[in-house]
Amino acid sequence: MMTPETILTYHKIHDTGNFERQVHYLKKTYPDALITVDDGDISFYENAFPLLKDSGLQVILFIITGLIDSEKPFWWDEVYYHLKGDRPDETISKLKSVPNQERLRLLETIRKNSDKPPLTCPQLTSNQLREMHDAGIIIGNHSHTHPMFDQVTEKEMQEELETSRLFFDQLGFGRYDLFAYPNGNFSTKSEKILKKEGIQQAFLFDHQLNRSENPLRISRLSVNDDTPMWKYRLILSGWHSRLLPVIKKVHSAIR
């Protein structure tokens, strides 16, 4: 598929009023922008899909294939749930930066040490995916279990892709070959395997306008459902990406 310069990444969609303003603005000002939504949270189906289905905007929903038709939670939500009030953000950052097997071990320990019952979460169903696909939403691939692709072994990476491919084959629609790196993490090794496993286009999470020539490193801008309009405009113009490093530098100089 053709990728425009302006590609947005969303996650959960809860602030319907503000999201509707954003969609309206996109239709008017960036009709060729591509909206991508990572993780396939059910809030997309409930809150965003009704606003997007007749919008004429191009939308890809990147799903975690292992969660569809299940009540399994996102693993980071589990950390928030079990470690509430105990600096869960720090633990999540750590879990994203360790080898995959260690991440899985640590997650298991967090579950075991918690006195709370296991967390469940209603996930999208195959029927809902079909309904969205029939209405023009592209269903893309966000791996099978959402590990960090710079922290997995070659074998794990292959398994992730092969299992998600099986899921898409069974589904009978959707785009296995359009891939969004979980958390945006990638390496030259992952790029090589993606190519070998038939991925045609891979999307980063780098908060940049898309100017890359490499179809396996497509840049995206990061926005949220509740991003205020003044900031939303700034982000879409590309200026936020340019200013952000400067703002960060000033902040650390003041501190």
- Nearer of residues 39 and 206 to Zn ion, judged by Cβ: 39
Least CB distance to Zn ion at residue 35 (A): 15
3-class SS string, the chain = CCCCCCEEEECCCCCHHHHHHHHHHHHHHCCCCEEEEEECCHHHHHHHHHHHCCCCCEEEEEECHHHCCCCCCCHHHHHHHHCCCCCHHHHHHHHHCCCHHHHHHHHHHHHHHCCCCCCCCCCCCHHHHHHHHHCCCEEEECCCCCCCCCCCCHHHHHHHHHHHHHHHHHHCCCEEEEEECHHHCCCHHHHHHHHHCCCCEEECCCCCCCCCCCCCCECCEECCCCCCHHHHHHHHCCHHHHHHHHHHHHHHHHC
- Nearer of residues 38 and 78 to Zn ion, judged by Cβ: 38
Question: How many positions of this chain bind Zn ion (CB under 5 A)?
Answer: 3
> What would the two tokens of residue 175 be?
């785009």
Least CB distance to Zn ion at residue 205 (A): 8
Q: Which stretch binds Zn ion (CB under 5 A): 38-46, 53-61, 120-128, 160-168?
A: 38-46
Least CB distance to Zn ion at residue 181 (A): 8
Least CB distance to Zn ion at residue 146 (A): 6
Of the candidates 207, 216, 213, which has an alpha carbon nearest to the alpha carbon of residue 240? 207
Least CB distance to Zn ion at residue 13 (A): 14
12, 13, 38, 128: which one binds Zn ion (CB under 5 A): 38
- Nearer of residues 24 and 119 to Zn ion, judged by Cβ: 119
- Nearer of residues 121 and 234 to Zn ion, judged by Cβ: 121
- Nearer of residues 64 and 110 to Zn ion, judged by Cβ: 64
Per-residue x/- track, 165-194, Zn ion (CB under 5 A): -----------------x------------
Using rule CB under 5 A, residue 41 touches Zn ion: no
Least CB distance to Zn ion at residue 221 (A): 15
Binding site for Zn ion (CB under 5 A): 38-39, 182
